[in-house]
Amino acid sequence: MRIHEKLTYTNERGESVEFSPASLYHVNFKDVKGLSDVRNAIYSTNSMGQDGDTYLGYRIEARDIDIVGHIKERDKQAAQTLRRNMNRILNPQYEATLTYEFGDLKRVIGCKINDAPIFTRKPIFEQFAVNLSCLNPFWREEAETREDIATWIGGFEFPVPDGLELAEGWEIGYRQPSLIVNVFNSGDVKSGIRIEFRALGVVKNPVLLNVDTQEFIKLNISLVAGDVLTVSTGYGEKAVKLKRGGVTTDAFRYLDVDSSYLQIAVGDNLFRYSADTNAENLEVSIYHNNLYLGV
């Protein structure tokens, strides 16, 4: 069976339009631009008497994706219904995601419609053109990657033969002994992380340390059993939230002034957790998205 590329636009209301050779919104992927190319802006400075420029830095600019296709319907009334449906879903007022699929490969990117779709009458099928702006230019996987540093691992399995009997020394679960975890970034660029500290009892001032760079995030707060402290370090996503008793509040004020907004480099990243007291009462998870320059 032949595998086709497919793009699916999904707005914030959950409504979707599929663009592919098999869709009524027919797209030949040679007419899609911006899926794999990015623009890089280089910043430099110079002065009188200097030959050449001095490099200052760079940034990867926002991505534009252009989709050109045809409404694969000869009946004019049916084609008009498809056009109105497309106009309704691709509303510039809505936030949206674009999903690329080809075989087992699946990538997602956030996007906004620059303008409403442009329709052009052709001899057979009506043509449409869609222009998307992706302010964050990186593609990502559909789901976050999670790494647990300290957690409880289940040791209880069903079915239990011949009834349930508790033998001496038998464990329902056990605590993962390692204080260090390797977070592997298989993407193309560095990315931010989301750290979740979960308190099983009283814990004072939890810390997460990057073993390689010695950068850390520390929260000057005493947690009690059931507290969940979440720290996000991605660009434009920086936040510290405390969930206590089912209520979530802003907790930025607890962030230690010497803390860094930890990022993960491409490849291996070693992290270690600790606390000023009762580190054994912590469960720690690290979430991240692998980010890609193209599909």
Residue 12: Cβ within 10 Å count: 11
Domains and their CATH numbers in the chain:
6-137 (2.40.30.200), 145-292 (2.60.120.880)
Nearest to 259 by CA among 205, 190, 223, 222: 205
Average pLDDT over residues 64-70: 93
For residue 160, pLDDT beyond 60: no
Q: What is the pLDDT of residues 97-113, one digit of tens each?
A: 999 999 889 999 999 99
pLDDT at 243: 94
Q: From residue 59, how far is each of 40, 111, 133, 191, 193 by CA, in Å?
A: 6, 19, 17, 14, 20
The pLDDT > 90 percentage for the chain reads 62
Average pLDDT over residues 89-97: 92
pTM of the model: 0.81
| CB-based contact 150:284 (threshold 8 Å) | yes
| CB-based contact 66:18 (threshold 8 Å) | no
Q: What is the pLDDT of residues 198-250, one digit of tens each?
A: 999 999 999 999 999 999 999 999 999 999 999 999 888 899 999 999 999 99
Q: Is the dihedral of CA 50, 52, 56, 62 positive or negative?
A: positive
